[in-house]
Amino acid sequence: MKILVFLESTIDAFRISDNHISELQNRFPLWEFIRISSEDELKKGLSKCDLLITWHFKSEWYNYSPKLQAIFTPAAGHDWIARESRVSVFHGSFHGQIMSESLMSMILFFNRKIKRTLHNQNLKTWERNYLSDTHSLSFQHALIVGFGSIGRVSAQVLKSFGCQITGVKRSSYNPVLDKYADNIISPDKIDQFISQVDHVISFLPGGKETNDFFTRSFFRNMKDTSIFYNLGRGNCYNENDLVWSLENSLIAGAGLDVFSEEPLPESSPLWNFSNVIIMPHGSAICNEYISMYITELICQLNQFYNNKQ
C-alpha cells in the first residue's frame, strides 16, 4: 500500500513533520508512507498512490489517480476536497476540543470584563466595583447554531459551567449525541429564541445554504446585552449588517474567527470596535494540532483497512 502525505502549510502547527511520518510508518510497517512537499510532486506520484493524506484535492487530479481508494484530510470543512464517488473521503473530527477552548476564551473575555482588567493593570489602578457588572455562565443561555460535532463539544464545555444550551440543527434530537443540550430546535424556529439568549454561537459550514444566515433582522432581535460569535465560515453573517448592529449598540459585542474576505482588509470597520475580538481564522490552531490528527488518523486507517477485508 503506497500512501502519499501532502500536509504542508504556511502555518507551523498545520505542517506535518518527519517524526509524524515515522509514527505512521511504525504503526503500519507494511505500508509505505511518502512525504511530499509540492503539487508537482503530488501529481507525479498519484498514478501509483493507493491512499492520500492531504489538505486539499482538485477535481482534475482524479484523472491522474487510477489506484486511489481514499483521501484523508485533517480539515473539518468539506470545501477543500473535490469529491468523486469511487474514492472515499475521511475528514478530521478532532477540532471540537481546540475550538471550544477558543470559544471559551472569547466568552470569558466578555463575561469577566478582561479588557477592563488589563486596562486597569496597565494603569496600576485597583478597582473592584466594575466586576459587579460581570456575569456567571450558570445564569446564562447560549444558542449554538450548527449543532454538529464541534458544537456538541462546545456545549459540553459550556454545560460544565452550568450554562443553558439550545442547539440549532436540521435533524431531530438525538438522546446520545445531543445530551448536553437542554433543547434542540430546527432553523425555522430560531426567531423564537433569539431574544432569550446571552450568547449566539455559529459553527455553520460554508455553502450557498448558509450565505448571510445572520443578517440585520437577526441582530436586531438579539438582546442588547448579548454577544455574537462566529467560528464556522465567514459567509454565514453579513458583515455590513453586523457593523450596523454594533454601531447602533443593538448587541454588546462580537467574537469573530472567520470572515467573508481573508485576511480581513485593513479597511474593514470591524477593526475599529473595542467590543469586537478578531481572531485570524485560528480557533483550531495549536501546537498539538497535527499530533491530535495523527491519533485520529491511525483510527481512521485501521477502520478503512478492516472494512476492506
Catalytically active residues are: 233, 262, 281
**Measured distance CA(187)–CA(197) in Å, rounded:** 15
| Residues whose CB is less than 8 angstroms from the CB of residue 9 and which lie 6 or more positions away in sequence, other chains included | 15, 55
Cell reading at 122: 496597565
CA distance 116 to 151: 29
Strand partners, 35: 5
Please give the grid coordinates belonging to residue 139.
Answer: 445564569
Residue 165, CA distances (Å) to 28, 141, 143, 145, 198 in order: 42, 6, 6, 11, 11
Contact 201, 231 (CB under 8 A): yes
Instruction: Answer yes or no: are the C-beta atoms of 171 and 147 closer than 8 Å.
Output: no
- Could you tell me the strand order of the sheet in which 51-54 lies? 32-35, 2-6, 51-54, 70-72, 88-90
